Structure 1
Amino acid sequence: MDYVNSMFRSDQMADKFQFFPIPCRHTIQQDELILIPSEEANDLSNWGDYSQRRRKPARAFLVNDVDGKSIDNKKKKIIHRDIERQRRQEMATLYRALRLQLPLEYLKGKRSISDHMHEAVNYIKHLQKKILKLSGRRDELKSSSNSYASRSVPESLQDSSEHSVMVRPCLAGVEVVISTCLRQGLNLSSVLEVILAEGLSVVTCISTKVNESLMHTIVSEVNDGRNIEPSELQQKLTMLATSSSELHLGMLAK
């Protein structure tokens, strides 16, 4: 009887208590891990904040250092970019000015800057050769004109100590040769005014020193087909030279 009662009690206890499988135990353990008392959680959070607060100053120092270097690098890049932009603008202006100085035949078919620079060098060399050629031609004309003037003037004019005037026709029109003493210089502008008043255009005017005299050789051409008498022009210029000499002597007398 006792045995039956014990069996009955054990069945009742089995009905009251149910045994769960292992996964349920794992769930309970997870719940136990998740359900942490609030005081312990606050202690852990405070410890994390404290550790972060202790690390912040070093991290902030490194960030500031990196930021300062990056700002300096940005400033240097901006300055370099501005200088480079200004240099390119100046070079473009110079290239444009150089291109405008070149003739069209040097720019034909040339588009690149290097081609323009090469053609500019060629043009400069061409100008240098042309200048040398014109300088030699100028020296030849100057020497020939001086020798011609010295040969064409009579000895009476070369040795005269007073004003002497000679007017004669030439291929261009009329040639006027005036010899004047250096101490009694004749105003050349007055002579040119007389020649222009006669309807002549001055082509060349060369002044040469011969001994103690100054010789002016003036070549003029006739305008509008006028008929010019060399003798009349010579008389007018002689009167001008005489009056200039008398004026000079009067000033010396005073």
Structure 2
Amino acid sequence: MSEDQNQHNILNSLVNDEKKIIRREVEKQRRMQMSILCSSLRSSLPFHLIKEKSSVSDNIGEAANYVQNLKEKVTELGKKRDKLKEIISSSMIETGNIELSADPSNLVKCVNINLIPDGVEIVICTGTEDRSSHLSGLMKIILQEGCDVVHCVTNQVNGNIFHTIRCEVEDMAHLDLTRLQTKLDHAILLSR
């Protein structure tokens, strides 16, 4: 019996040794995986947050703070986007039964009016399609508002059409830039 018990003890010892080896190997693999993940996390952080000899826990703390800051920025930008959508929708002209969708192609791309000596410079981005009737309609609006067009250049940049229109204005006091901007915005919006 003692020999059987001896063999049993030896088997138990071998099994325990084997379990210890497996546990050690699993733990080694886990540590290697954690090391890889921590390195990946550290490399994902912005350079200014990485300290030369920071510990893993410091990196995880910085990452948590960084993610929280990003969430706050996303929330803030979402609020700004919603405000801009409200501004755009409130500046749309009612077109009877026709509803303008929230499709980005329907939104005004760009109208920028700058004062220059003796007049204004109007830069308009009409999107990706250039329509001659579209430009002529914009010119009519500009003329109706009391501007004399002296120069017009059309360029294509990154697939967008830009019209740069220089105008002379006899009486700057009677030129309502806000009204001109609104009319141009609406003309571009309605032409889409």
Q: Please, what TM-score do these two structures have when normalized by structure 2?
A: 0.54
How far did residue 114 of structure 1 move?
0.8
Number of the residue aligned with 1:85: 28
After superposition, the C-alpha distances for 1:123-177 in whole angstroms (9 at most, x for unaligned) are: 0111011111111111111111121233xx7xxxx2488xxxxxxx86252477x
Question: Does 2:59 align with 1:116?
Answer: yes
RMSD: 3.7
Unaligned regions of 5+ residues in structure 2, if any? 99-110, 114-121, 136-153, 167-186
Match of 1:193 in 2: 129
* Cα drift, residue 94 of structure 1: 1.1
2:73 aligns with 130
CA distance in 2, matches of 1:170, 1:105: 36
Residues 38 and 56, structure 2, Cα contact 8 Å, conserved in 1: yes
Residue 173 of structure 1, aligned match among 111, 123, 135 = 123
The question of whether the paired residues in 2 share the 8 Å contact of 1:174 and 1:221 is answered with: yes
Q: Which has the higher contact order (CA 8 A, sep 6+)?
A: 2
State the distance in 1 between where 2:156 and 2:26 align.
60
Q: 1:73 to 1:174 in 2, by over 3 A?
A: closer
Between Structure 1 and Structure 2, the one with more helix by share is: 1
Structure that is richer in strand per residue? 2
1:107 aligns with 2:107: no
Alignment identity in percent?
28
The alignment covers a number of residue pairs equal to 129
Where in structure 1 do 4 or more consecutive aligned residues deviate above 4 Å?
200-203
- Aligned-partner SS, 1:193: coil
Tell me how far apart the structure 2 counterparts of residues 148 and 94 of structure 1 sit (CA, whole Å). Answer: 50
5+ residue gaps, structure 1: 1-57, 162-168, 177-190, 204-218, 228-233, 242-254
Matched-pair contact (CA < 8 Å) for 1:173–1:220: no
Q: How much has 1:226 moved relative to structure 2?
A: 7.6
